[in-house]
Amino acid sequence: MSRSLKPEKIVRELEEVAGKLFDEVRRDNGTFETGSCIVNGKKMLLINTRQSTDERVAALAKEIARMGADKLYLKPALREEIERWADDHTPPERT
């Protein structure tokens, strides 16, 4: 993870980017993995606040990469995280 931003700040900023790419972004806690789905034709991103910060960074970066964030201006630290996870199809480790 980039040393220029704290992990919690990266999560917040990735959530802001997700807000530009998804019709709706929801934060909740439960037994689900952070990920996206389509409900009534709307692209939704569900963020599980029970997941660790590192798990949320990985999941958010993967979803943002999948949606095509290459057309958005992103801070270098955010782009680095997204590119890091873009080709990784393994789920983040549970802690």
33, amino acid identity: E
Residue 95 lies in a domain: no
Question: Coil, strand or helix: which one is 22?
Answer: coil
Residue 1 lies in a domain: no
Tokens 């439960």 map to which residue? 30
Distance of CA 79 to the CA centre of its chain: 12
Q: Is the pLDDT of residue 60 over 90?
A: yes
Residue 91 lies in a domain: no
The more confident residue out of 70 and 10 is: 10
Name the pTM for this structure.
0.83
Residue 94 lies in a domain: no
Edge-first strand order for the sheet with 35-39 is 24-28, 42-48, 35-39
Domain residue limits at 62: 7-85
Say what the pLDDT of residue 94 is.
Answer: 47
Domains identified in the chain, total number: 1
| pLDDT bucket at 70, cuts 50 / 70 / 90 | confident
Average pLDDT for 73-84: 91
